[in-house]
Amino acid sequence: MRLDRKLLLIAPAIVLVFVAAGIAYAAFQLHVLSDASSTWKERSNFVAAVERGEKKLNERQAVGLLDVALQVEEKRTAAIVASRDLLIMLSLIELACCAVLVFGIRTVPREHWPRLNLTRSAE
């Protein structure tokens, strides 16, 4: 069975649309990840208040706070690595689709290409 030439052009184009959607999704997730640091100033002020002695923090609470901070950092690092891996994979898929499109376009005979008639007809 011979592969339809239009399919060579349509399928990679559809995949490229999904790749673009994936890149937009990854960018949105990175934006959400960066918004999580908006409360950093409040947390920093709390720690500074504990240092100045304005707020009391016992040893168990301090260990719990440190544990939560380490868990957050671990999850944040995993999210950044996952976003990076997603962008790399989407870039590779996009390059493969572009290669298939170039191959597909080159296999279409010139007689089917649209002809641009840039000269004006004298009527």
Q: How many Å apart are CA 51 and CA 46, to the nearest integer?
A: 9
Please tell me the total count of domains within the chain.
1
Q: Tell me the mean pLDDT in the region 11-36.
A: 82
For residue 83, give both structure tokens: 């976003």
Evaluate whether residue 113 is within a structural domain: no
Evaluate whether residue 118 is within a structural domain: no
Evaluate whether residue 17 is within a structural domain: yes
pLDDT digits (tens, 9 = 90+) for 37-83: 667 777 788 888 888 888 888 889 888 888 888 888 888 888 888 88
Evaluate whether residue 65 is within a structural domain: yes
> Concatenated DSSP letters for 10-58?
HHHHHHHHHHHHHHHHHHHHHHHHHHGGGGHHHHHHHHHHHHHTSS---
pLDDT at 2 over 60: no
pLDDT digits (tens, 9 = 90+) for 10-23: 778 888 888 888 88
pTM of the model: 0.60
Q: How many Å apart are CA 88 and CA 94, to the nearest integer?
A: 10
Contacts of 65 (CB under 8 A, 6+ apart): 57
Evaluate whether residue 50 is within a structural domain: yes
Are 20 and 93 a contacting pair, CB within 8 Å?
A: no
Question: Domain containing 34: what range?
Answer: 5-108
